[in-house]
Amino acid sequence: MDVVIGIDTGTTATKGVAAGPRGEIRALTSVHYPLSVPGPGRAELDPAQLVDAAVKALTDVAAACRENGDRVIAIGLSAFLHALVPMSADGEPLGPLITWADGRSAEQCEQIVAAGRAKVLQARTGTPVHPMSPLTKLAWWEATDPDTLRGTPRWGGVKELIVAALTGGPFQVDLSLASGTGLYDIHSRKWDDEALGIAGVRAEQLAEVVPTTTRLRLRPEVARAAGLDESVPLIIGAADGPLANLGVGATPAGIAAVSLGTSGALRTVVDRPASDEAGRLFCYALTEDRWVIGGAVNNAGSVVRWAGESFAAGFERPGAEGEDADERDAALLEEAAGVRAGSEGLLCLPYLLGERAPWWRPGLRGAYLGLRREHKRPHLVRAAVEGVCQQLALVRDSFEAEGYPVTEIRATGGAAASELWVGVLASALDLPVAVADTPEGTALGACLLARHALGEFPDLAEAAALVPISRHTRPEPEDAELYRRLRPLVEESALAVLDVVAELDRLAPEPLPGTEKAVGA
């Protein structure tokens, strides 16, 4: 069988998938690495580990293809958005890769907002002004270390890093990743002069922007390590969010995709760059004529992992000695499924890593409201799941306000394997949720886009129709009504406590030296 390999570089793991002509999964692998949190507001990755993980995922999947007797005809790339890494002129990283979850540029973000420039920039670039974006990260660098900012030959993200390592070729980034930097004018298709001025960088320090269907060539040594012919094209691909829509078949109008991984997002596809007057939705490219609008939330599956680490130390079910973190999290969700919708009056603001959509306000922090003596661990876990799903429902409400009605949800990501997650999501959104057969929708999307680049699917809707769906969940009417009534309280509570959490941040002592943390290993 002729297969395409998709490599998806995520925040805590790189996934590799081989897919056949009908989207059937022929091989699958995952390479994990830790997200480093060495201080307040910081969230970084080791660039060398990302490169090694991409090469290993490619090598492992290619080996599985040979064992299956399959022939690899192309490779497609996916990468997470909003990362920033300093690079040398030949593409070598010069420091850690700063991820979307890094919040050190909150002050620069507030300055842009206070100057009245945020919504204008967002309308042109498609990216909300928020500490997640490379725009504000570079502005932070300009404020704290301008000499390094200007003297660094290249500034890039995950895709530039991986492309440089795999190809050794020109400094390029796809349109999709560029549209998520806050530095690129998605309407005139060029780096934005005002944004570059705020960031303090020159256009020549940034990559050449190319279509998501651009063909590249593997370095000979990489091809040999993977056992692939050097002629196998490498398709530069797109960002993980837009590709997740393609990988779960959510490209037709009215169908939205939800990602439930470490973080989460709700997205729907439109046929041209779009912006909303309220500034609540992002707009990123899938291809030159297919764009994705939506909102990302910082916290999804990570809230259950946190709950397991915080509430379930030593927690073991009878006969479950030695179960790993995934098994523990599944057990916690099983417990939480026994709690009624609404968690007996407990409301969770699950902003462990701050929050993004729909308000894009830095400084948001997590909280439990309505906590009573009767609430136990299952209530705390279920309330956290409900908090994430309510946040995604607020994004869906923004779709409705802008005239983009949604009639069906396609879900992907590790948390989508949980019946509790999917059931709460269906009721919070009050929409049917379908889960794709493969949990690796983003990597499959990279495979499908690569086939589109090869000319196999001139219409992306044809590719999306290949995605098999086997699990359908409908909302519970009573639960949906309760969540609808609770949702205004989420927004009111989140914004009402901003001043309180800001003061708490000021009063919090600095962490002791050497207390570096790593999550997601």
- pLDDT of 234 higher than 80: yes
What confidence tier does 323 reach under pLDDT thresholds 50, 70, 90? low
Q: What order of strands is seen across the sheet that includes strand 433-436?
A: 282-287, 290-297, 264-270, 255-260, 408-412, 433-436, 469-473
Phi, psi of 301 (to 5 degrees): -60, -25
Taking only the tens place, the pLDDT of each residue in 143-166 is 999 999 999 999 999 999 999 999
What confidence tier does 520 reach under pLDDT thresholds 50, 70, 90? very low
- pLDDT of 466 higher than 90: no
Q: What is the pLDDT of residue 200?
A: 97
Angle, vertex CA 394, rays to CA 416 and CA 370, nearest 5: 90
Q: What is the pLDDT of residue 426?
A: 98
**In the 3-class helix/strand/coil scheme, how is 296-323 assigned residue by residue?**
EECCCHHHHHHHHHHHCCCCCCCCCCCC
What confidence tier does 518 reach under pLDDT thresholds 50, 70, 90? very low
Q: What is the pLDDT of residue 277?
A: 82
The amino acid at 280: R
The amino acid at 517: K
Question: pLDDT over 70 for what percent of the chain?
Answer: 95
Phi, psi of 137 (to 5 degrees): -60, -45
| Cα–Cα nearest to 280, from 289, 293, 290, 270 | 293
**In the 3-class helix/strand/coil scheme, how is 322-347 assigned residue by residue?**
CCCHHHHHHHHHHHHCCCCCCCCCCE
Q: What does DSSP assign to residue 84?
A: B
Question: pLDDT over 90 for what percent of the chain?
Answer: 76
Q: What is the mean pLDDT of residues 84-111?
A: 95
Q: What is the pLDDT of residue 519?
A: 40
Taking only the tens place, the pLDDT of each residue in 333-348 is 999 999 999 999 999 9
Q: What is the pLDDT of residue 513?
A: 43
Q: What is the pLDDT of residue 465?
A: 83
Phi, psi of 213 (to 5 degrees): -100, 10
What is the spatial distance between Cα 210 and Cα 178, in angstroms, rounded to a whole number? 9
Q: What is the pLDDT of residue 515?
A: 40
Burial class (CB in 10 A: 0-12, 13-18, 19+), 189: middle
Taking only the tens place, the pLDDT of each residue in 214-229 is 999 999 999 999 999 9
What is the spatial distance between Cα 468 and Cα 437, in angstroms, rounded to a whole number? 6
Element (H, E) at 279: none
What is the spatial distance between Cα 121 and Cα 127, in angstroms, rounded to a whole number? 8
116-120, 297-301, 458-462: the lowest-pLDDT one? 458-462
Mean of the per-residue pLDDT values for the chain?
Answer: 92
- pLDDT of 5 higher than 50: yes
End-to-end distance of the chain based on CA atoms, in angstroms? 34
Taking only the tens place, the pLDDT of each residue in 167-217 is 998 999 999 999 999 999 999 999 999 999 999 999 999 999 999 999 999
Q: What is the mean pLDDT of residues 322-328?
A: 76
- pLDDT of 455 higher than 50: yes
- Ramachandran area for residue 314 (φ above 0: left; ψ -120 to 50: alpha; else beta): left
- pLDDT of 120 higher than 70: yes
What confidence tier does 131 reach under pLDDT thresholds 50, 70, 90? very high
The answer to whether the beta carbons of residues 185 and 121 sit under 8 Å apart is no
| Cα–Cα nearest to 237, from 496, 4, 472, 515 | 4
Burial 126-153 (b: 16+ CB within 10 A, else e): bbbbbbbbbbbbbbbbbeeeeeebeebe
Taking only the tens place, the pLDDT of each residue in 273-295 is 988 888 999 999 999 999 999 99
- pLDDT of 317 higher than 80: no
In Å, how far are 48, 185, 304, 400 from 270, measured between CA atoms? 36, 17, 32, 14
The answer to whether the beta carbons of residues 361 and 498 sit under 8 Å apart is yes
What confidence tier does 314 reach under pLDDT thresholds 50, 70, 90? low
| Cα–Cα nearest to 359, from 398, 328, 401 | 398
Taking only the tens place, the pLDDT of each residue in 404-435 is 999 999 998 888 889 999 999 999 999 999 99
- pLDDT of 353 higher than 90: no
- pLDDT of 361 higher than 60: yes
The answer to whether the beta carbons of residues 388 and 297 sit under 8 Å apart is yes
The answer to whether the beta carbons of residues 354 and 391 sit under 8 Å apart is no
What confidence tier does 512 reach under pLDDT thresholds 50, 70, 90? very low
- pLDDT of 516 higher than 50: no
- pLDDT of 392 higher than 70: yes
What is the spatial distance between Cα 263 and Cα 11, in angstroms, rounded to a whole number? 9
What is the spatial distance between Cα 75 and Cα 218, in angstroms, rounded to a whole number? 10
What confidence tier does 325 reach under pLDDT thresholds 50, 70, 90? confident
Strand partners, 209: 173
